[in-house]
Amino acid sequence: MTPFPAGLSTTWVPVALSHELRSKPLARRVADVPLVLFRGAEGVAVLKDRCPHRNYPLSGGKVENGALRCPYHGWRFDGAGRCVDVPGADKGSDISRLGAERIAAVERFGAIFIRLEGGEQAPPFAPPPLLGDPAYDHFWYTRGVWRGRAIDALENILDPFHTNFIHDGLIRDSRHRQPVKQTLAYRDDGFEVTYEQQSPDRGWMPRLLEGERKRSVGRYLAPITFQGRWESTKGLTLCATAFFVPESHDTYRPFGCWTTRKGFAPNWLKRAAIMAFVRTVAEQDRVSLEKQHATINEFGAPKFKSGPTDLVHAPLAEFYHHGVAAARPPESRSIWL
């Protein structure tokens, strides 16, 4: 069983998009901790999905007057987890000690983020670079729960070499590889891999959406975040920020936010163009990662052999499992993509 990533419980992670949470409570799970989300009197609230009375799941209840009512005995809890009503009890009864467990939560940029540990002492939410930046257009995309390990999903998105096969024709063309300079640089919070090339990628997606690509950067922000940036001679063309949130040891929920420059097209049109490719690419990745995970389970554990193109495997494992990696100077090499 692969452990959850180091620092997951003290990291702000997305659990739902804003439009997914409406009038009914919403059940979610992070690191095997069941959660319930609801819109309380003061905004989004998140509690552990367990009524403190007789441990019934609160996610089966309903929101009344800004507080969540348990469907078993009717106890009601506000957004801070305080018990505000025990049906059948005398009005003078002391119910102050009967609260549910609150989880720190914020709603930002169209998504709901939580932090499992910290409560009222949790540090302020700090987004990855560009996420929600008003100078750009943004839209979110999520595809429910995927089977597999979050670490394998992160390595997949950081690894460009599978795109010549799994996404052949969409992202790259396996028949026409080109020389690329690949550079790995370590950071305090992860690492980034830069790709410099003389010609744009030959797949339909970069040809139609990017134009001429000169440089791309894949950044890993420990423990569960990836950010990819694609740049032309004029600057940023496209940015994708992806979160792979472990729900259990063999399931995770991916969230992606796409960021583009303002001005050259309306956001709805850019979304439609990007999603025309992303839906297919995401499904190809989902199927591939699920097959990989099934094979790992068949043999009882992962047993990987890394080759000369597997530059990100070791640093990703160090950061994911330990939260830190030994500092190393930047490493550059020539590859063919």
Q: What is the pLDDT of residues 108-123, one digit of tens each?
A: 999 999 999 987 777 8
The pLDDT of residue 203 is 72
Region 135-154: what's the mean pLDDT? 97
For the chain, give the percent of residues with pLDDT over 90.
81
Instruction: Tell whether domain 136-336 is in CATH 3.30.70.360.
Output: no
How crowded is residue 237: how many other Cβ atoms within 10 Å of its Cβ?
20
Task: Give which of 243, 251, 244 is closest to 32, Cα–Cα.
Answer: 251
The CA distance from 250 to 109, in Å, is 28
CB 230 within 8 A of CB 211: no
Delimiting residues of CATH 3.90.380.10 domain(s) in the chain: 136-336
Residue 200 predicted with pLDDT over 80: no
Average pLDDT value over all residues in the chain: 93
pLDDT 10s digits, 273-325:
999 999 999 999 999 999 999 999 999 999 999 999 999 999 999 999 999 98
Residue 213 predicted with pLDDT over 90: no
Region 319-333: what's the mean pLDDT? 92
The pLDDT of residue 243 is 98
pLDDT 10s digits, 163-181:
999 998 888 888 889 899 9
pLDDT 10s digits, 3-23:
999 999 999 999 999 999 999
Burial class for 263, CB neighbours closer than 10 Å (0-12, 13-18, 19+): exposed
CB 39 within 8 A of CB 23: yes
CB 179 within 8 A of CB 210: no
The CA distance from 12 to 71, in Å, is 30
Task: Give which of 334, 312, 322 is closest to 192, Cα–Cα.
Answer: 312
Question: pTM of the full predicted structure?
Answer: 0.95
One-character DSSP codes across 74-122? --EE-TT--EEE-TTS-TT---TT-PPPEEEEEEETTEEEEESS-GGGP
The CA distance from 115 to 90, in Å, is 36
CB 265 within 8 A of CB 281: no
Alpha carbon 46 to chain centroid, angstroms:
18
The pLDDT of residue 327 is 82
The pLDDT of residue 37 is 98
The pLDDT of residue 70 is 98
How crowded is residue 216: how many other Cβ atoms within 10 Å of its Cβ?
21
The pLDDT of residue 201 is 78
For the record, the structure tokens of 135 come out as 């100078």
Region 81-107: what's the mean pLDDT? 95
Instruction: Name the CATH superfamily, with its identifier, for domain 8-121.
Output: Rieske [2Fe-2S] iron-sulphur domain (2.102.10.10)
Task: Give which of 23, 69, 216 is closest to 60, Cα–Cα.
Answer: 69
Delimiting residues of CATH 2.102.10.10 domain(s) in the chain: 8-121
